Amino acid sequence: MRILSGIQPTGRFHWGNYFGAIRQYIDLQNGRDTAFYFIANLHALTTVRVKDQLVQNTLDAALDLLALGLDPNRATLFVQSDVPEISELCWILMTTTPMGLLERCHAYKDKKARGLTADAGLFTYPVLMAADILLYDSELVPVGEDQVQHVEVCRDIAGAFNHSFGEVFVLPKAYVVKDTAKVPGLDGSKMSKSYGNAVDVFEEIKTQRKKIMSIVTDSRPLEEPKNPEGDHLFELYSLFASSEQTKSLAETYRRGGFGYGSVKKELAVLAETYFAEARAKREELAAQPAKIREILAEGAKKARQKASEVLLRTQQACGLK
């Protein structure tokens, strides 16, 4: 059973990235015959237009994933652009992909609705995403419930090609991650870099603590009981706390007689402790750039072995070979 997941290097990973996706996806490397994880730098070109920034983001993504638990002995980690077969497969798929299918995709529709310029890269983004999946005969693609459309579009694109040229592609299935955490940001809305409300996993401790202390809370007096349900500070605390700690804080909320500042200080300590091992591992890896390059090169080599097999099969089916 082959599982595949990619993540864009558009910035440093924050708590929302980790608890909402990365943690669950890395867990899936266990007990699978093959797990492919790639850093989607070709996709990132639709938003990152500074060369040095993209290079650094790509390296940071590799370091972060390895520090957070991705094991290159159990999974294949590689950079998307290090597998050039992806570009040819993307073009081949575009020749049979209906325009109407792309026009209905969320990212393009949303940007157009906001009056923003949508380039060809964004418009054809779903085709490159389909190529990412199909190039490795991927069977399971882990996604959140709001991303199932991506896999459905991939199946439609593969189906259109198969209809014209025979059963060439394996049709993947979405693996819906049921326990995907809904992570609030510092202001209570969804945590996102673009909203300016994110806490990065590996940012400097002093900066992280300052951000945590700035979490927006209401102005109810200390003695007033408070409902933990729907309280974004409580939700953030629960991500890091044990079940006993979470239960105790919920009782404190309902009882009243506490200040949000004390909860924020506890959260800062819990978060620092939670990622302490990963932070130390990242520092160790960052001092070994040659090792990181070796891991990514070996991953690309393994990925290309499978990619070349699938591309050749595709070329033969449509008459290019």
Catalytic residue annotation: 111, 190, 193
Please report, for residues 12, 39, 296, 304, 312, the alpha-carbon distance to residue 81 in angstroms, rounded to integers and kept in the order given.
19, 9, 11, 11, 18
Contact 93, 161 (CB under 8 A): yes
Query: How would you class 165 by CB atoms within 10 Å of its CB: exposed for 0-12, middle for 13-18, buried for 19 or more?
Result: middle
**Could you tell me which residues come within 8 angstroms of residue 299 by beta carbon, excluding any fewer than 6 positions away?**
72, 76, 77, 78
Joined together, the tokens standing for residue 193 give 């870099």
Residue with tokens 């102005």: 219
Q: Which of 25, 51, 76 is nearest to 179 (CA)?
A: 25
User: What pairing do the DSSP bridges indicate for beta strands 140-143 and 76-79?
Assistant: unpaired
Q: Which of 138, 70, 134, 5 is nearest to 295 (CA)?
A: 70
Q: What is the DSSP letter of 35?
A: E
Question: Rounded to the nearest 5°, which phi and psi values hold at 98?
Answer: -65, 135
End-to-end CA distance of the chain: 29
Q: Does residue 13 come out as left (phi exceeding 0), alpha (psi in the -120 to 50 range) or beta?
A: beta
Q: Which of 294, 303, 305 is nearest to 62 (CA)?
A: 294
Q: Which of 63, 61, 95, 67 is nearest to 81 (CA)?
A: 61
